[in-house]
Amino acid sequence: MPTILISGAAFGLGRAFLNAYANEKSNTIIAIDKENVQPSEYQQHAATVQSHIVDVTSEASINSLATLLSETPIDLFIHSVGIRGLVPAVENAQPESVAAAETLHVMDLSTLMHTFQVNAAAAFLLTRSLLPNLKQAHNAKVVIMSSRMGSIGHNTTGSAYAYRASKAALNSIIKSFSIDVPEVVFVLCHPGRVESKLVKYKEE
């Protein structure tokens, strides 16, 4: 019976992964997010689902999860936590213009640091804390939701300072994991454009 841990399981891609894997009776799913993962979509499914509230920007919260799961082998870890890195004041004033909230002129230190914390540091801390669980499983896999916007070579339009830089950092972190922990398979994914809570404005 494979055990799958999904971060960011309350919304967006994480929620979609949760609902998909919950269809398989043989799966045990550990769903984590900063707020409770409501069971409405998956409660009729066959899988066993555990929900835990975890703040992935808090080492204490991550360590508490690691202690709770210390004897649990994890076969697959899907990390789908992320933010766009928009300057809040500009995003609130111009919600229909994502680009306006991430330009050279408006970007600030607070937004940069918070975006790095959520998009890069959280992935490092959570993945590292789960290594003992992953090593307990046979041929464990880690799948990280990244973005092609983290590619330096792909950046031909500029802007998106916090998001691009944080995803580049994330890519580098996971590359190092793949070298340092060869017994675990690490995969970085560019899921494409997805309708989620990444930004407030939804295009028609």
Local confidence pLDDT in tens for the 204 residues of the chain: 899 999 999 988 999 999 899 888 889 999 999 988 776 665 666 678 899 999 999 999 999 999 999 999 999 999 999 999 999 999 999 988 889 999 999 999 999 999 999 999 999 999 999 999 999 999 999 999 999 999 999 999 999 999 999 999 999 999 999 999 999 999 999 987 766 555 554 444
Neighbour order of strands in the sheet with 141-145? 48-53, 28-33, 3-7, 76-79, 141-145, 185-189
Could you give the CA distance from residue 149 to residue 163 in angstroms, rounded to a whole number? 8
Architecture of domain 3-189: 3-Layer(aba) Sandwich (3.40)
Instruction: Indicate the domain borders of the chain.
Output: 3-189
Nearest Cα neighbor of 164 from 105, 110, 86 is 86
